[in-house]
Amino acid sequence: MTNKNLRIGVIGAGRIGIVHSGSVNDTAGAELAVIVDAIEESAAKLAGKYGVAHTTNVEDIFTKGDVDAIIVGSPTPTHVDLISRAIDAGIHVLCEKPVDLDINRALSIKSKVSNSKTNVSIAFNRRYDPNFAAVHARVKAGEIGNLEQLVLTSRDPGEPPRAYIAVSGGIFRDQVIHDFDIARFFVGDIAEVSTFGGNLFSKDIEAENDFDTAITNLRSKDGKLVSVINSRHSSYGYDQRIEAFGSKGMLKIDNIADTTVRSYTSDHTEQRDPYMNFFLERYAASYRKELALFIESINTGKQLNPTYEDGCQALIIADAATESAKTGKVVTLK
Amino acid sequence: MTNKNLRIGVIGAGRIGIVHSGSVNDTAGAELAVIVDAIEESAAKLAGKYGVAHTTNVEDIFTKGDVDAIIVGSPTPTHVDLISRAIDAGIHVLCEKPVDLDINRALSIKSKVSNSKTNVSIAFNRRYDPNFAAVHARVKAGEIGNLEQLVLTSRDPGEPPRAYIAVSGGIFRDQVIHDFDIARFFVGDIAEVSTFGGNLFSKDIEAENDFDTAITNLRSKDGKLVSVINSRHSSYGYDQRIEAFGSKGMLKIDNIADTTVRSYTSDHTEQRDPYMNFFLERYAASYRKELALFIESINTGKQLNPTYEDGCQALIIADAATESAKTGKVVTLK
Amino acid sequence: MTNKNLRIGVIGAGRIGIVHSGSVNDTAGAELAVIVDAIEESAAKLAGKYGVAHTTNVEDIFTKGDVDAIIVGSPTPTHVDLISRAIDAGIHVLCEKPVDLDINRALSIKSKVSNSKTNVSIAFNRRYDPNFAAVHARVKAGEIGNLEQLVLTSRDPGEPPRAYIAVSGGIFRDQVIHDFDIARFFVGDIAEVSTFGGNLFSKDIEAENDFDTAITNLRSKDGKLVSVINSRHSSYGYDQRIEAFGSKGMLKIDNIADTTVRSYTSDHTEQRDPYMNFFLERYAASYRKELALFIESINTGKQLNPTYEDGCQALIIADAATESAKTGKVVTLK
Amino acid sequence: MTNKNLRIGVIGAGRIGIVHSGSVNDTAGAELAVIVDAIEESAAKLAGKYGVAHTTNVEDIFTKGDVDAIIVGSPTPTHVDLISRAIDAGIHVLCEKPVDLDINRALSIKSKVSNSKTNVSIAFNRRYDPNFAAVHARVKAGEIGNLEQLVLTSRDPGEPPRAYIAVSGGIFRDQVIHDFDIARFFVGDIAEVSTFGGNLFSKDIEAENDFDTAITNLRSKDGKLVSVINSRHSSYGYDQRIEAFGSKGMLKIDNIADTTVRSYTSDHTEQRDPYMNFFLERYAASYRKELALFIESINTGKQLNPTYEDGCQALIIADAATESAKTGKVVTLK
């Protein structure tokens, strides 16, 4: 494809690091250079799968000169620092969401990122899911006239472990931030946020002072209305839907099951299986597309993925939703 | 609506007579005049529901001068004679299918029917079901280009009693005749018939030398191909579908449940209830439309319902299917 | 059915009066006694259709002694007074929503209604739509475990005339009040309301200081969350959906088209026609059910329809939504 | 995965050879050894993509000792000979359908294949499509009780070039043979075949004395009934469906589009895009599964793919369908 492969280091050998490593391995023009994880066993296991180097010392990335780009899937508190150091080292970076749990810390490197000579991208992969992407393209092409309302439903298959909740930053910064990014993708910047959070099923989540259920109303700066509907569990599988309503029509996506089989018996008809249960399966295509755009961005100098600014804006909405849910007030954004 | 109501006698107070009586009662321009049934209790019960006269003597219809039209829902062996006498008496007649179990007996009054001054209609109600009718209208309007293939699925909710099977004339003259009429409605006259009959679940039906399952291939005189798929039972409710395939597209209909509710749990998604189980519910609208067309035919002198000739042609195909299933040969029609 | 028919007067010969008159005419045990409308031509036309008396003087209802019950479909400002006088006259009353545009006026007869010897019912017909009713029954039966979230979508086919908007009381008291009643039907009394209103397409509606689009979050007293999504137009027909999400599953309803036909061509597949466009068709069954329950309530002394209190509570939520949309604040209900 | 990769030669660098080469390249435990095609340019191009050897001389396969297995995607007349020589050379073989156009020639090596020490598999990939496979597994598990009827619909997106038709062996040996294999997969051996062939749209196909449209009825040896519905074109994309009907229920599969997006406008609702248009996309997963089973068969000595006997039996049904369509008679198989 290109004369020389892009050498990519993956930082974080957890669930998302495994996904990104697989994508790199499958992608022409890229090669996995090194896996970094503070837990050596994790780093070694993932590196071994692809026959590449591993290290527990992230310094190696910036000092050894053997990577062109990094994908950051390490814990959130490390993100800002890694982005900053990658820029200094002339290394391209694709960083997982959220950029940080503290918006001030995130904004502290905003101008540095703006002036970066290397690519900085934020991994809001849902934009590249073929279904969400098709709705977006068709809305932009005018198929439904003026977009007036957006309804986003996002329900996780099951609640995460309490330890994860404890460091997640809460449902809005951890889960709903994807919907907030999708909202911005469709309607642009957000002016007002009103959220009702609920504790309807999980004692653990309540004990962490977090919500297991939420509904959020957003108004965009140009007046479009967005309803966001979330839950930390869903008995029937991963529930990920969008409905774009406009002056001339509506576009919606259905969920995805492993097969198209439908069953009919004396107690039901048209029955399908539960939906795909896990984000890695459900969004597999989107991770590959995200990586392809990252590589194309590096090769062409264009910014094709969501920007650091997109990462900050989604976090600002997540902060506002958190505040609204906790205070019971509508929050206005500047 | 009209100055004077059309006075209608219903012959046969069984299941189908009850449906037609209800339709007459609900229809402007018509009134129920008398119910005829050899079993006085049945006649009296149905007549009582609408406060009209009843009789066990069918002669009354032809001699008393108080009906303008009859709807014949009495046993099949009475049909030809009743049609013939209605013509003689100047009475319009809407007669249930089949016209007879013996095609020669049916054909014996064919020219008499042709010369009738009163309306003679055969009750192939399925043509007037809103779904079948919409597919027909759209095919005729050219929406799918040249019609090439027709697939008809017709599965009854459950097998009839053995006593009914014994006098039914067999699955092809009793059940599949509706599909054969629909086939002619779409593709015109039929040239070739090949049927495989099966005995896959009912000892009773087998004992009556009849089939519980059948698949039939038809070729129309102008070469279109029709697949007809039948069963005498269906665990998930009444299964009634059509698929019209043409050079530019396809039109299909789905079955109908009582509600549009779908359920989603840990073991399924998109599940609907079983389909409407009974032809009287499923085809309620078609019976009313059929009656309205009968009345309009009488008022205008146009023939808007299927003709006696249609009744004979469907029977001829049913006979051919029966022969094909029994002999294992393809049957060619003239 | 009963020894004596219930004699029903219909007040208001407009669109909704026409529907109710048809239901009365079709219902065993009831008879249309008189049509009342200030515009004699309207009253005479509707009365003529059924061969019953008409009057322009509503006093006749209360003085002539020839009605047992009234159905009130006259303009909203007349509702409270007619209910009050019906109670005084010992006449049962089924009154259209909203009970009034002024909650204080509505509440002024609350105790009088509580002590009424005759039946007072409010016409929130949507509860009796077979689809909504089935979801409600299945949720109450525990099919989806604990109900956690409710999503209600209600988009009218097209905006009403400006003159109607001007006296409607605004989108929340006129249109969304149905959703607020359905919300209470499922989750009980409401504690908090947050609404974003929008002016996204109609200059007329904006000129009347009303909204053409709205999204509302509700929280019930026991913590369940409800999203309500509304528009005054919908290109693809009347959009009326409910999604009930619980700990063990989800129940949803689809919209309804006239047929089940689906088309497939070189530019699309699985295409259905636009949805039924008008509330009278879409909710025909619900109006008949509502009337049947009204008659049964009168005959048995049970209150089977929504109560006057239900009418007041839905209006209180509509007032709160109006306030929230206009002030940009979350409104807490007592 | 295994100590040593299975070295696979791909014979035929056409459309299907390209698919198989891609699958081999993506599959752990296998490696592409050489590409063979009589047209050097084709062989070189495909070999170049994966950096492997190529040759125009199929002798190299059998003499050079550098392949363990071959995948045969060369023209049909070469199949029997290549299978025979592979057996002699101790090379495993996965051969495309049909095994030959002449059943006698196919049968001539039947006992040799039976006694082969190496694996001989026939590439009826449709059995491994996740949707067909799921229906099969669920039928075998008894979910629908006794299987009574099978309905197979298979319509190609568009007619092949006339040159292809000329050497294809006709629609039954080329296209419908897949359905005949699926029929056997579900209902076992076939006893009777009745086919109507049609010439409804293609002058080219008619000029080749072939059919563009066909419907076939099959009866299995144990009495189950199968309807097979075929066309050489389909305006809305590749139409591949199965409906399995049994005593306790029905299982069906839907077609597949690239996304799950549905559109709603003033002239339609629930509209999806045309279906995937090409067998390589539609059945991509099935080709990979077929290869995985071939490798597993070789490693374990089990026969996991369809056998040479399956290939012959499907051809025998295709011959019977051809005869039935041409003679207008039902054909009985031994």
* Domain residue ranges of chain B, discontinuous segments joined by +: 6-118, 127-284+314-332
Residue A308 contacts B where some CB pair is shorter than 8 Å: no
Enumerate the residues of chain C whose CB falls inside 8 A of the CB of residue B253.
Answer: 259-262
Quote the minimal CA–CA distance from B291 to chain C in Å: 19
Quote the minimal CA–CA distance from A142 to chain D in Å: 12
Contact D130 A258 (CB under 8 A): yes
Quote the minimal CA–CA distance from D225 to chain B in Å: 7
Percent of chain A with pLDDT over 70: 99
Closest Cα in chain B to C129: B259
Residue B2, pLDDT > 60, answer no
Alpha-carbon Rg for chain D in angstroms: 20
The C249-253 sheet, strands edge to edge = B268-271, B261-265, C249-253, C239-246, C147-155, C225-231, C213-220, C190-198, C331-332
Residues 181-210 of chain C whose Cβ lies under 8 A from any Cβ of chain B: none
Compute CA distances A192 → A171, C194, D56, whole Å.
19, 12, 69
Q: What is the pLDDT of residues A153-176, one digit of tens each?
A: 999 999 999 999 999 999 999 999
Contact C262 B256 (CB under 8 A): no
Give partners of C (≥3 CB pairs < 8 A).
Answer: A, B, D
Q: In this predicted structure, what is the pLDDT of residue C2?
A: 37
Q: In this predicted structure, what is the pLDDT of residue C174?
A: 96
Q: In this predicted structure, what is the pLDDT of residue A334?
A: 86
Q: In this predicted structure, what is the pLDDT of residue B76?
A: 96
User: What average pLDDT does chain C have?
Assistant: 95
Q: Which of C75, C43, C39, C81 is nearest to C62 (CA)?
A: C81
Give partners of D (≥3 CB pairs < 8 A).
Answer: A, B, C
- Cα dihedral sign for D78, D84, D90, D93? positive
User: What average pLDDT does chain B have?
Assistant: 95
Residue B28 contacts C where some CB pair is shorter than 8 Å: no
User: Token pair for residue C251?
Assistant: 């129940």
At C270, the pLDDT band (50, 70, 90 cuts) reads very high
> Element (H or E) spanning A26, and its range?
helix A15-26
Residue A3, pLDDT > 70, answer no
Residue C185, pLDDT > 50, answer yes
Quote the minimal CA–CA distance from B159 to chain A in Å: 15
Kindly state the average pLDDT of the residues C214-228. 98
- Cα dihedral sign for C317, C321, C324, C326? negative
Residue C272 contacts D where some CB pair is shorter than 8 Å: yes
**CATH number 3.40.50.720 is the correct assignment for the domain at A6-118:** yes
Enumerate the residues of chain C whose CB falls inside 8 A of the CB of residue A149.
Answer: 213, 215, 229, 231
Q: In this predicted structure, what is the pLDDT of residue D281?
A: 78
Quote the minimal CA–CA distance from C67 to chain D in Å: 45
Enumerate the residues of chain C whose CB falls inside 8 A of the CB of residue A225.
Answer: 196, 198, 200, 213-215
- The superfamily (CATH) of domain A127-284+314-332 is Dihydrodipicolinate Reductase; domain 2 (3.30.360.10)
Q: Which of A228, A226, A255, A253 is nearest to A239 (CA)?
A: A255
At D296, the pLDDT band (50, 70, 90 cuts) reads very high
- CB neighbours of C64 closer than 8 A, spacing ≥ 6? none
Q: In this predicted structure, what is the pLDDT of residue B27?
A: 87
- The superfamily (CATH) of domain D127-285+314-332 is Dihydrodipicolinate Reductase; domain 2 (3.30.360.10)
Contact D261 A138 (CB under 8 A): yes
By the 10 Å C-beta count (0-12 exposed, 13-18 middle, 19+ buried), A50 is classed as: middle
Q: Could you tell me how many residues make up chain D?
A: 334
Residue B225 contacts D where some CB pair is shorter than 8 Å: yes
Q: B214 by DSSP, 3-state: which?
A: strand
Cα(C175)–Cα(C197) distance, integer angstroms: 13
Q: Which of D102, D321, D317, D313 is nearest to D197 (CA)?
A: D321
Number of inter-chain CB pairs under 8 A, C vs D: 59
Residue C235, pLDDT > 50, answer yes
At A325, the pLDDT band (50, 70, 90 cuts) reads very high
Segment among B121-130, B182-191, C275-284, D324-333 with least mean pLDDT: C275-284
Give per-residue burial for C190-225: e unless 16+ CB within 10 Å, then b: bbbbbbbbbebbbebbeebebbbbbbbbbbbeeebb
Residue B275, pLDDT > 50, answer yes
Residue C323, pLDDT > 90, answer yes
Enumerate the residues of chain B whose CB falls inside 8 A of the CB of residue A257.
Answer: 269
- CB neighbours of B24 closer than 8 A, spacing ≥ 6? B8, B10, B30, B31, B32, B71, B291
Kindly state the average pLDDT of the residues B293-320. 96
Q: What is the pLDDT of residues B102-143, one digit of tens each?
A: 999 999 999 999 999 999 999 999 999 999 999 999 999 999
Residue B267 contacts A where some CB pair is shorter than 8 Å: yes
Which residues are C241's β-sheet partners? C153
* Helices A308-327 and A177-187: angle between axes, nearest 10 degrees: 120
Residue C277, pLDDT > 90, answer no
CA atoms within 13 A on the CB side of A65: 0
Quote the minimal CA–CA distance from D313 to chain C in Å: 35
ipTM greater than 0.90, yes or no?
A: yes
Kindly state the average pLDDT of the residues C50-70. 94
Kindly state the average pLDDT of the residues C244-264. 96
Q: Which residue of C254, C256, C265 is in closest CB contact with B249?
A: C265
Which one of C148, C192, C270 would you mutate to disrupt binding with A, by most A Cβ within 10 Å of its Cβ? C148
Kindly state the average pLDDT of the residues A206-213. 98
Enumerate the residues of chain C whose CB falls inside 8 A of the CB of residue B135.
Answer: 261
Kindly state the average pLDDT of the residues C114-129. 96
Contact B263 C249 (CB under 8 A): yes
Cα(D80)–Cα(D96) distance, integer angstroms: 11
Cβ atoms of A297 and A306 within 8 Å: the answer is no
Kindly state the average pLDDT of the residues C240-264. 96
Q: A313 by DSSP, 3-state: which?
A: helix
At B277, the pLDDT band (50, 70, 90 cuts) reads confident
User: What average pLDDT does chain D have?
Assistant: 95
Number of inter-chain CB pairs under 8 A, A vs C: 117
Cβ atoms of D173 and D98 within 8 Å: the answer is yes
Q: In this predicted structure, what is the pLDDT of residue A162?
A: 97
Closest Cα in chain D to C237: D266
Contact A269 B269 (CB under 8 A): no
Segment among A218-222, C4-8, D50-54, D329-333 with least mean pLDDT: C4-8
Residue B240 contacts C where some CB pair is shorter than 8 Å: no
Kindly state the average pLDDT of the residues A41-47. 96
Contact A261 D255 (CB under 8 A): no
At C26, the pLDDT band (50, 70, 90 cuts) reads confident
Which residues are D34's β-sheet partners? D9, D53
Q: Which residue of B144, B254, B263 is in closest CB contact with C262?
A: B254
Kindly state the average pLDDT of the residues C288-296. 95
Q: In this predicted structure, what is the pLDDT of residue D100?
A: 97
Cα(D126)–Cα(D23) distance, integer angstroms: 15
Q: In this predicted structure, what is the pLDDT of residue C276?
A: 87
Q: Which residue of B266, B269, B274 is in closest CB contact with A269?
A: B274
Q: In this predicted structure, what is the pLDDT of residue A2?
A: 37
Cα(A6)–Cα(A29) distance, integer angstroms: 6
At D3, the pLDDT band (50, 70, 90 cuts) reads very low
Residues 247-266 of chain B whose Cβ lies under 8 A from any Cβ of chain D: 247-250
At D334, the pLDDT band (50, 70, 90 cuts) reads confident
| Amino acid (1-letter code) at residue D299 | N
Enumerate the residues of chain C whose CB falls inside 8 A of the CB of residue D267.
Answer: 274
Quote the minimal CA–CA distance from B275 to chain A in Å: 7
Residue C90, pLDDT > 60, answer yes
Residue C189, pLDDT > 80, answer yes
Kindly state the average pLDDT of the residues C276-294. 87
Cβ atoms of B256 and C260 within 8 Å: the answer is yes
